[in-house]
Every structure is written in structure tokens, then in C-alpha cells.
Structure 1
Amino acid sequence: MNIFKGKRLENFDYEYYWNSKNQKIKDNLFEREKIIFNWIKDESKVLDAAVGNSFLPVCLKEKKKCEVYVRDVARGVLDQYRSLGIQAEVRNIYDANDDGTDNYDYIVMSEVLEHLAMPEDVIKKMSKISKFLVITIPNSAFYRFRLQLLFGRFLKQWVLHPSEHLRFWSHSDFIDWLEVLDFEVEKCEASNGLDIGPLKLFKYFPNLCGHQICYLVKKR
């Protein structure tokens, strides 16, 4: 099967990406967001640094009484957050104020780092303005991606265009990457992946069976 057929491969940009999606704020949490929600303490100051149309900021504000801020370069969705009393700002994720004017308890970057050419620069800046970083990534060592490679195909993590993901990690590689960047992993948990009936194998073997993995980290 040719995975590129029917895809717009030329003249692709972020605006086209968002115009191809439903920009309405979601009304439920993904499994990874449920984990994040449980990790964040009540009445915390939280920034979602590339929010998309996530329902998480709404839940944190309403159920945990958090002071929530959201940022994105997709202007269309930000007005919806403002209408819900959430402070929203159009800002590129590389543009972080590390001069002391911004200060948070948690910065959420869910399914974000794999889209960046230099995520090292981003988490370094973000760590200067937050006690904790909450990160989720797709695990490139997930068994399904291994099978794609086994049969001679590159792993497919994109939806609309192959340029969506620029960086790739396995769970094990991501732990090593964080260590070299001088981050300490407080918690990590696979949110979904391979299960057999009630047996959630992704909880026990995240590097092989976990699809999306959550990390709560802080600078050493």
C-alpha cells in the first residue's frame, strides 16, 4: 500500500494542517491527558505550551482550580479558550521568556517535541520558568512500528504529511536523552498500547508495548 497516495505533499504548512482538522475544543480527555491531570496538583499555575484543541486546560481550571495559560500559533482555537476564562496567547513554542517574567508550576508539552527540529533548546528554556515539565511522546520502539520496519517500511506516525514528525525516540532513548540534558524523571507511564483483554502489557513493558508515554521531569 502506498501511504503517500491522496496526500498533499507539496505546499504543506501549519495553517493547512489546522484547517484540515476540527478546531473545536475537545470535550473529553485522551488517556495520556488523564495521566497528566492526575499528576498536576490542585491550584497549580500551569502553561500548556502548544495546546492545540486539548480539553486538559478546561479540566484543570474547572476541576482542580488551577491558574491555566495556553499558547499556540493556531489562532482559531485560542478565542475558544478565552471565552472559557483561560488566558490564551499566540506564541511560537521556541519563544519562551526565561528572564523571570514567566513562572509556572507545570509546563505541559503533550505530543509536541517530536514536531520540533531542536527540542533540546525548548526544554532548556522551559525548565528555567517551571518547576516541572510534563511531556508526552510517541514511542518509536512500539511493537507496531517495529513490525513496519521488519517488513521494509519506515514507521508511520504522521496523519496528513510526513514532515509532521522531525524527531524520533524510543522510551529507552528518551530516558537517556533526558539524563544527558540533566533532567530527572519523577514519573513516567505509558498511556496506551498493547493489551490482551484486561492485561495492559503497555504498563509493564513500555518500551515494547507502550504507544504514547508520559513523563514528569524536572531539572537537576
Structure 2
Amino acid sequence: MEELEGLLELNKSEGIFIDIGTQVYLEIEGVNFSVTSIFIGLLKDEFMIVTLPKRYKSIKNKLFPSDTLIVKYLYDGSVYAFQTKVIETITNPIRALAIEYPKVVQQRELRVAKRNNVVVPGRVEAKKKIFSMVVFDISKKGCRFKYRDNISNIASLREGDLLKMYCQFPGVADEIGAMAVVKNIKRSQGQFTVGAEFQDITKTFLMPLMQFLFSIEDFS
């Protein structure tokens, strides 16, 4: 687990901003993967309560009182993080984790313009045709995707064309759609690579996208 000071240029924030129901990511000392919980509530300057993390059975021996963990979450477009310690694991009558109220909360803007290498399946609707594609590079402003050049697809996309993209983000049950405009196209070895810029992005698309970008944000 990284020390908090090792996170990328985090700046000290005044107070703590978090809504009940926010998904938080826990990095637990001695565990080589992150787990998620849901924030339940807090008593200022005393403690915070989150649900028992997913995969609890495999990590419960790392959640004894005084064990250290780092909590990260997304709030209003910023990443917040703090180091804390376990107070108590509660399994009855509710399943929850009590942690120390943070002494220092650190914050930085999520680098939503940064490109991220990903694999997100989806579909494109353009010129009265729908075809499968894969997004491999994405940010808040736009993305790049690939699709096969074959009879069932269209090979006539041009710069400036308007299209609708449907992305299947991890953890989201349904595909989420957004309008985009084609910025550039390359053809190589039977497939097209298209750069597209999102247009008039809605909250329905923006919130899952922001959560996805946060989940893959590199804190190394």
C-alpha cells in the first residue's frame, strides 16, 4: 500500500466533503488489490462508517483495530484521499466498518482530459446503421475506438460526421449513450480507428464516465 504522500500531487483540502451513499475505494495494508465500500455516515472529528468491503471474507484478517488503510473517493469532479485506521469491524446487527476520522484530507482535480488506455465494448449508430466497436482510449472530452471494415459495417465515416456512441462501462448494467463528432479516421489492416469528441454530454453519460475514469486513475 502506498503512503498518502506518494499520491500524484495531492493538495491539502479544508474539511471533508462526501455524501452518504458514495462509493469509496479502500487500499488496505498487506492487501495487493483495492476493494470498494459504501460511505454510511460520520461523527465529525470522531469516526466514519462504511459498509464492509466486497470480498470481505478474503481480507477480514487485515481489518483488525489499528490496521492501516487509505480511503479514496470521487466528489464533485475531484479525487479525495486520506489515511486512516480501523476502529472496529461490525458484523451484527449490521455489517459495517468503523474507521478513524481523518486528520488530513487531500484533494486534487480528476485529470479528466488525460487519455486512458482501456477496453470498453460498445456500439455506434451513424448514417442509419449500427455496428459494434471497442473504445481503447477515453477521457471526459472524447475517445478513440476501433471497428472492423466489413460489409455489415459502414466504411464511409468522414471528419465532422455526427454519431451516437453506446458504451458498456464496467459495473453499469446498461449501455450508456452519448453524441459525438468524428475528428479523425485512420484505416489499417481491415479496421478503422476513429477519434471522436463528445458533444453536449448528459449527466446520464457523464456520471458513469467520471466514475469509470476515477476507478482506473493511476495513483502509482
Higher relative contact order (CA 8 A, sep 6+): 1
TM-score (norm 2): 0.25
TM-score (norm 1): 0.25
Which structure carries more helix by proportion?
A: 1
Which structure carries more strand by proportion?
A: 2
